[in-house]
Amino acid sequence: MSSFVEQFLNGLIPGSIYALIALGYTMVYGIAKMINFAHGDIIMVGAYILLIGLNASGVPTWLAIVLAIAGCGILGVVIEKVAYKPLRNAPSLAVLITAIGMSYFLQNLFLVIFSSKGKSVPRFIHVKDFKIGDITVSGNMIVTLIVTIIIMILLTVFINKTKLGSALRAVSEDKGAASLMGINSDLMISMTFAIGSALAGVAGILWVSMYDKAYPTLGAIPGIKAFVAAVIGGIGSVPGAMIGGIALGLVESFTKAYISGELVDAFVFGLLIIVLIFKPTGILGRKRIEKV
Protein backbone atom coordinates (compact mmCIF):
# COMPACT_ATOMS: atom_id res chain seq x y z
CA MET A 1 0.00 0.00 0.00
CA SER A 2 2.73 2.45 0.93
CA SER A 3 4.43 1.81 -2.38
CA PHE A 4 1.19 2.62 -4.16
CA VAL A 5 0.95 5.94 -2.34
CA GLU A 6 4.58 6.64 -3.19
CA GLN A 7 3.94 5.93 -6.85
CA PHE A 8 0.87 8.11 -6.71
CA LEU A 9 2.96 10.99 -5.38
CA ASN A 10 5.69 10.26 -7.92
CA GLY A 11 3.07 10.76 -10.61
CA LEU A 12 1.24 13.63 -9.01
CA ILE A 13 4.29 15.89 -8.87
CA PRO A 14 5.43 15.81 -12.51
CA GLY A 15 1.73 15.61 -13.37
CA SER A 16 1.05 18.91 -11.69
CA ILE A 17 3.99 20.47 -13.56
CA TYR A 18 2.56 19.12 -16.82
CA ALA A 19 -0.74 20.65 -15.81
CA LEU A 20 0.85 24.09 -15.34
CA ILE A 21 2.40 23.89 -18.79
CA ALA A 22 -0.77 22.48 -20.33
CA LEU A 23 -2.69 25.50 -19.01
CA GLY A 24 -0.57 27.73 -21.22
CA TYR A 25 -1.24 25.62 -24.31
CA THR A 26 -4.94 25.47 -23.66
CA MET A 27 -5.42 29.15 -22.79
CA VAL A 28 -3.53 30.28 -25.87
CA TYR A 29 -5.46 27.86 -28.03
CA GLY A 30 -8.73 29.04 -26.52
CA ILE A 31 -8.15 32.67 -27.41
CA ALA A 32 -5.77 32.69 -30.39
CA LYS A 33 -6.87 29.34 -31.90
CA MET A 34 -3.26 28.26 -32.36
CA ILE A 35 -0.87 25.74 -30.82
CA ASN A 36 2.13 27.61 -29.52
CA PHE A 37 4.84 25.02 -30.03
CA ALA A 38 7.43 27.37 -28.57
CA HIS A 39 5.61 27.10 -25.25
CA GLY A 40 7.78 24.23 -24.00
CA ASP A 41 10.95 26.20 -24.64
CA ILE A 42 9.75 28.98 -22.40
CA ILE A 43 10.16 26.48 -19.55
CA MET A 44 13.81 26.22 -20.51
CA VAL A 45 14.22 30.00 -20.65
CA GLY A 46 12.68 30.22 -17.18
CA ALA A 47 15.17 27.68 -15.90
CA TYR A 48 18.12 29.63 -17.31
CA ILE A 49 16.92 32.98 -15.97
CA LEU A 50 16.58 31.35 -12.56
CA LEU A 51 20.06 29.86 -12.85
CA ILE A 52 21.60 33.22 -13.74
CA GLY A 53 19.77 34.84 -10.84
CA LEU A 54 20.86 32.19 -8.35
CA ASN A 55 24.50 32.39 -9.46
CA ALA A 56 24.64 36.17 -9.43
CA SER A 57 25.95 37.51 -6.18
CA GLY A 58 23.65 39.71 -4.21
CA VAL A 59 20.43 38.48 -5.83
CA PRO A 60 18.18 36.89 -3.23
CA THR A 61 16.46 33.62 -4.18
CA TRP A 62 12.98 35.12 -4.18
CA LEU A 63 14.10 37.80 -6.63
CA ALA A 64 15.65 35.20 -8.94
CA ILE A 65 12.32 33.35 -8.91
CA VAL A 66 10.30 36.51 -9.58
CA LEU A 67 12.64 37.53 -12.40
CA ALA A 68 12.35 34.12 -14.03
CA ILE A 69 8.54 34.19 -13.92
CA ALA A 70 8.30 37.80 -15.11
CA GLY A 71 10.93 37.21 -17.79
CA CYS A 72 8.94 34.31 -19.19
CA GLY A 73 5.73 36.33 -19.15
CA ILE A 74 7.38 39.16 -21.08
CA LEU A 75 9.00 36.71 -23.50
CA GLY A 76 5.60 35.19 -24.23
CA VAL A 77 4.11 38.60 -25.04
CA VAL A 78 7.08 39.51 -27.26
CA ILE A 79 6.90 36.20 -29.14
CA GLU A 80 3.20 36.77 -29.82
CA LYS A 81 3.75 40.35 -31.01
CA VAL A 82 6.75 39.55 -33.21
CA ALA A 83 5.91 36.13 -34.61
CA TYR A 84 2.18 35.38 -34.32
CA LYS A 85 0.32 38.69 -34.47
CA PRO A 86 1.37 39.47 -38.07
CA LEU A 87 -0.15 36.10 -38.97
CA ARG A 88 -3.49 36.68 -37.24
CA ASN A 89 -5.37 36.25 -40.54
CA ALA A 90 -2.95 33.80 -42.16
CA PRO A 91 -3.79 30.12 -42.74
CA SER A 92 -3.29 28.04 -39.61
CA LEU A 93 -0.51 26.01 -41.21
CA ALA A 94 1.63 29.16 -41.52
CA VAL A 95 1.12 29.89 -37.83
CA LEU A 96 1.97 26.31 -36.88
CA ILE A 97 5.22 26.36 -38.85
CA THR A 98 6.12 29.73 -37.35
CA ALA A 99 5.57 28.35 -33.86
CA ILE A 100 7.83 25.38 -34.56
CA GLY A 101 10.40 27.79 -35.99
CA MET A 102 10.20 29.91 -32.85
CA SER A 103 10.81 26.79 -30.78
CA TYR A 104 13.99 25.93 -32.71
CA PHE A 105 15.09 29.53 -32.56
CA LEU A 106 14.88 29.63 -28.76
CA GLN A 107 16.63 26.26 -28.37
CA ASN A 108 19.47 27.25 -30.69
CA LEU A 109 19.82 30.71 -29.23
CA PHE A 110 20.41 29.18 -25.83
CA LEU A 111 22.66 26.55 -27.34
CA VAL A 112 24.88 29.30 -28.74
CA ILE A 113 24.93 31.26 -25.50
CA PHE A 114 25.20 28.45 -22.95
CA SER A 115 26.48 25.49 -25.04
CA SER A 116 24.79 22.10 -25.04
CA LYS A 117 26.32 21.09 -21.75
CA GLY A 118 23.86 21.03 -18.91
CA LYS A 119 24.47 23.48 -16.10
CA SER A 120 23.56 22.33 -12.64
CA VAL A 121 21.18 24.49 -10.73
CA PRO A 122 22.02 24.93 -7.06
CA ARG A 123 19.44 23.79 -4.57
CA PHE A 124 17.18 26.73 -3.85
CA ILE A 125 14.10 25.27 -2.16
CA HIS A 126 14.92 24.58 1.43
CA VAL A 127 11.88 22.85 2.81
CA LYS A 128 12.33 19.88 5.11
CA ASP A 129 11.23 16.44 3.97
CA PHE A 130 7.97 15.28 5.36
CA LYS A 131 7.29 11.85 6.80
CA ILE A 132 3.95 10.10 7.09
CA GLY A 133 4.45 6.58 8.41
CA ASP A 134 7.15 5.08 6.23
CA ILE A 135 6.49 7.38 3.28
CA THR A 136 8.86 10.30 2.79
CA VAL A 137 7.68 13.29 0.84
CA SER A 138 10.49 15.59 -0.20
CA GLY A 139 10.33 19.31 0.44
CA ASN A 140 10.41 20.00 -3.31
CA MET A 141 7.36 17.85 -3.80
CA ILE A 142 5.42 19.66 -1.12
CA VAL A 143 6.32 23.04 -2.56
CA THR A 144 5.43 21.94 -6.09
CA LEU A 145 2.09 20.59 -4.98
CA ILE A 146 1.14 23.65 -2.95
CA VAL A 147 2.25 26.07 -5.66
CA THR A 148 0.28 24.22 -8.34
CA ILE A 149 -2.86 23.99 -6.23
CA ILE A 150 -2.75 27.71 -5.42
CA ILE A 151 -2.18 28.65 -9.07
CA MET A 152 -5.02 26.45 -10.26
CA ILE A 153 -7.44 27.94 -7.75
CA LEU A 154 -6.40 31.52 -8.55
CA LEU A 155 -6.62 30.91 -12.29
CA THR A 156 -10.05 29.29 -12.03
CA VAL A 157 -11.36 32.18 -9.96
CA PHE A 158 -9.80 34.71 -12.33
CA ILE A 159 -11.34 33.16 -15.43
CA ASN A 160 -14.77 32.45 -14.02
CA LYS A 161 -15.40 35.18 -11.49
CA THR A 162 -13.72 38.38 -12.65
CA LYS A 163 -14.59 40.99 -15.24
CA LEU A 164 -11.35 40.43 -17.16
CA GLY A 165 -11.93 36.68 -17.00
CA SER A 166 -15.34 36.95 -18.62
CA ALA A 167 -13.88 39.34 -21.22
CA LEU A 168 -11.27 36.69 -21.93
CA ARG A 169 -13.94 34.06 -22.44
CA ALA A 170 -15.93 36.45 -24.62
CA VAL A 171 -12.93 37.08 -26.90
CA SER A 172 -12.26 33.35 -27.14
CA GLU A 173 -15.84 32.82 -28.32
CA ASP A 174 -16.38 35.75 -30.68
CA LYS A 175 -13.74 38.44 -31.22
CA GLY A 176 -16.05 40.64 -33.28
CA ALA A 177 -18.87 40.64 -30.73
CA ALA A 178 -16.33 41.19 -27.96
CA SER A 179 -15.01 44.28 -29.72
CA LEU A 180 -18.58 45.62 -29.90
CA MET A 181 -18.56 45.38 -26.08
CA GLY A 182 -15.46 47.56 -26.04
CA ILE A 183 -13.04 44.70 -25.34
CA ASN A 184 -9.64 45.11 -26.98
CA SER A 185 -8.96 41.57 -28.18
CA ASP A 186 -5.28 42.26 -28.93
CA LEU A 187 -4.81 43.22 -25.32
CA MET A 188 -6.62 40.08 -24.15
CA ILE A 189 -4.42 37.92 -26.38
CA SER A 190 -1.29 39.58 -24.98
CA MET A 191 -2.57 39.01 -21.47
CA THR A 192 -3.18 35.33 -22.21
CA PHE A 193 0.33 34.89 -23.56
CA ALA A 194 1.70 36.66 -20.49
CA ILE A 195 -0.22 34.44 -18.07
CA GLY A 196 0.46 31.21 -19.97
CA SER A 197 4.17 31.95 -20.32
CA ALA A 198 4.51 33.01 -16.70
CA LEU A 199 2.99 29.65 -15.75
CA ALA A 200 5.55 27.96 -18.00
CA GLY A 201 8.18 29.95 -16.06
CA VAL A 202 6.83 28.58 -12.79
CA ALA A 203 6.88 25.10 -14.32
CA GLY A 204 10.51 25.63 -15.36
CA ILE A 205 11.48 26.65 -11.85
CA LEU A 206 9.72 23.66 -10.30
CA TRP A 207 11.23 21.37 -12.94
CA VAL A 208 14.84 22.33 -12.15
CA SER A 209 14.12 22.19 -8.44
CA MET A 210 13.37 18.52 -9.08
CA TYR A 211 15.91 17.57 -11.75
CA ASP A 212 18.52 20.28 -10.99
CA LYS A 213 19.96 20.71 -14.47
CA ALA A 214 19.35 23.37 -17.11
CA TYR A 215 20.11 22.67 -20.79
CA PRO A 216 18.81 24.15 -24.06
CA THR A 217 16.46 21.30 -24.94
CA LEU A 218 15.10 21.01 -21.42
CA GLY A 219 11.65 22.22 -22.44
CA ALA A 220 11.15 19.82 -25.33
CA ILE A 221 10.00 16.74 -23.42
CA PRO A 222 7.82 18.37 -20.75
CA GLY A 223 6.51 20.65 -23.50
CA ILE A 224 5.35 17.84 -25.73
CA LYS A 225 4.00 15.84 -22.76
CA ALA A 226 2.02 18.84 -21.56
CA PHE A 227 0.69 19.35 -25.07
CA VAL A 228 -0.52 15.75 -25.03
CA ALA A 229 -2.03 16.42 -21.60
CA ALA A 230 -3.87 19.48 -22.94
CA VAL A 231 -5.27 17.47 -25.84
CA ILE A 232 -6.31 14.60 -23.57
CA GLY A 233 -8.07 17.04 -21.23
CA GLY A 234 -9.70 18.85 -24.16
CA ILE A 235 -7.73 21.66 -25.77
CA GLY A 236 -9.28 25.00 -24.89
CA SER A 237 -10.58 23.76 -21.54
CA VAL A 238 -8.82 25.03 -18.42
CA PRO A 239 -10.00 22.31 -16.00
CA GLY A 240 -9.30 19.84 -18.81
CA ALA A 241 -5.64 20.87 -18.87
CA MET A 242 -5.38 20.36 -15.13
CA ILE A 243 -6.98 16.92 -15.28
CA GLY A 244 -5.02 15.92 -18.38
CA GLY A 245 -1.69 16.95 -16.84
CA ILE A 246 -2.23 15.08 -13.62
CA ALA A 247 -3.64 12.02 -15.42
CA LEU A 248 -0.56 11.93 -17.62
CA GLY A 249 1.80 12.12 -14.64
CA LEU A 250 -0.03 9.29 -12.92
CA VAL A 251 -0.04 7.07 -16.02
CA GLU A 252 3.71 7.63 -16.35
CA SER A 253 4.44 6.80 -12.77
CA PHE A 254 2.24 3.71 -12.56
CA THR A 255 3.53 2.38 -15.86
CA LYS A 256 7.07 2.82 -14.63
CA ALA A 257 6.33 1.12 -11.31
CA TYR A 258 4.08 -1.75 -12.29
CA ILE A 259 4.56 -2.44 -15.98
CA SER A 260 7.83 -1.34 -17.51
CA GLY A 261 10.09 1.67 -17.39
CA GLU A 262 10.72 1.41 -21.08
CA LEU A 263 7.09 1.45 -22.06
CA VAL A 264 6.25 4.74 -20.31
CA ASP A 265 6.00 6.80 -23.48
CA ALA A 266 4.10 4.06 -25.26
CA PHE A 267 1.46 4.20 -22.55
CA VAL A 268 1.34 7.99 -22.52
CA PHE A 269 0.77 8.24 -26.25
CA GLY A 270 -1.45 5.17 -26.16
CA LEU A 271 -3.66 7.02 -23.70
CA LEU A 272 -3.77 9.95 -26.13
CA ILE A 273 -4.83 7.67 -28.97
CA ILE A 274 -7.52 5.98 -26.90
CA VAL A 275 -8.96 9.30 -25.71
CA LEU A 276 -8.95 10.66 -29.25
CA ILE A 277 -10.72 7.56 -30.59
CA PHE A 278 -13.55 7.68 -28.06
CA LYS A 279 -13.74 11.40 -27.45
CA PRO A 280 -12.00 13.37 -30.19
CA THR A 281 -12.54 16.66 -28.35
CA GLY A 282 -10.74 15.36 -25.24
CA ILE A 283 -12.17 14.62 -21.80
CA LEU A 284 -13.70 18.05 -21.14
CA GLY A 285 -13.50 19.53 -24.61
CA ARG A 286 -16.68 20.63 -26.26
CA LYS A 287 -17.39 20.73 -29.91
CA ARG A 288 -17.79 24.26 -31.15
CA ILE A 289 -20.15 24.84 -33.95
CA GLU A 290 -18.27 26.89 -36.50
CA LYS A 291 -20.47 29.50 -38.07
CA VAL A 292 -19.78 30.19 -41.69
Partner 1 sequence: MSLLKVEDLNVYYGMIHAIKDISFEVNEGEVIALIGANGAGKTTTLHTITGLLQPKSGRIEFKGHDLVKTPAHKIVGLGMAHVPEGRRIFQELTVYENLKLGAFTRKDKDIAKTLDMVYERFPRLKERKNQIGGTLSGGEQQMLAMGRALMSKPDIIVMDEPSMGLSPIFVSEIFDIIKEISAQGTTVLLVEQNAKKALEIADRAYVLETGKIVLSGDATDLMNDESVKKAYLGE
Q: Which is nearer to partner 1, 167 or 268 (CB)?
A: 167
177 sits near partner 1 (criterion: CB under 8 A): yes
Task: Provide the strand spans (E) within the chain.
Answer: 119-120, 130-132, 135-137, 213-214
Which of these segments, 20-28, 51-59, 141-149, 167-175, binds partner 1 (CB under 8 A)? 167-175
Rounded CA-CA distance 217/45 in Å is 10
Q: What is the DSSP string of 174-195?
A: -HHHHHHTT--HHHHHHHHHHH
Give start and end residues of each alpha helix (H) in 33-60.
39-55
Selected from 132, 180, 273, 277, the binder of partner 1 by CB under 8 A is 180
3-state secondary structure of 124: coil
Q: How far is the CB of 139 from partner 1 (least distance, A)?
A: 41
- Tell me how far the alpha carbon of residue 186 is from its chain's centroid: 22
Of 27, 16, 17, the C-alpha closest to 237 is: 27
Work out how close the CB of 191 gets to partner 1 at its nearest, in angstroms, rounded to a whole number. 14
Among 12, 31, 99, 183, binds partner 1 (CB under 8 A): 183
Minimum CB separation from partner 1 for residue 32, in Å? 17
Among 26, 144, 185, 255, binds partner 1 (CB under 8 A): 185
Cα-Cα end-to-end distance for the chain: 55
* DSSP-assigned letters across all residues of 206-261: HHHHHH-EE-TTTTHHHHHHHHHHHHHH-TT-HHHHHHHHHHHHHHHHHIIIII-G
Return the residue of 3, 56, 173, 270 that touches partner 1, per CB under 8 A.
173
Contact stretch for partner 1 (CB under 8 A) within 137-145, 147-155, 173-181, 252-260: 173-181
217 belongs to the binding site for partner 1 (CB under 8 A)? no
Site string for partner 1, 69-108 (x = CB under 8 A): ----------------------------------------
**What is the greatest pairwise CA distance in the chain?**
60
- Residue 131 vs 291, nearer CB to partner 1: 291
How many other CB atoms are there within 10 angstroms of residue 144's CB atom? 25
The verdict on 184 binding partner 1 (CB under 8 A) reads yes
Using CB under 8 A as the binding rule, whether residue 182 contacts partner 1 is answered as yes
Least separation in angstroms between residue 45's CB and partner 1 is: 32
Binding positions for partner 1, 230-269, rule CB under 8 A: none
Closest to partner 1 by CB, 106 or 189 = 189
Q: For residue 119, report the phi and psi dihedrals to the nearest 5 degrees.
A: -110, 130
Among positive and negative, which fits the CA dihedral 29, 32, 38, 41? Answer: negative
Q: Which residues sit at the interface with partner 1, rule CB under 8 A?
A: 163, 166-167, 169-170, 173-174, 176-185, 291
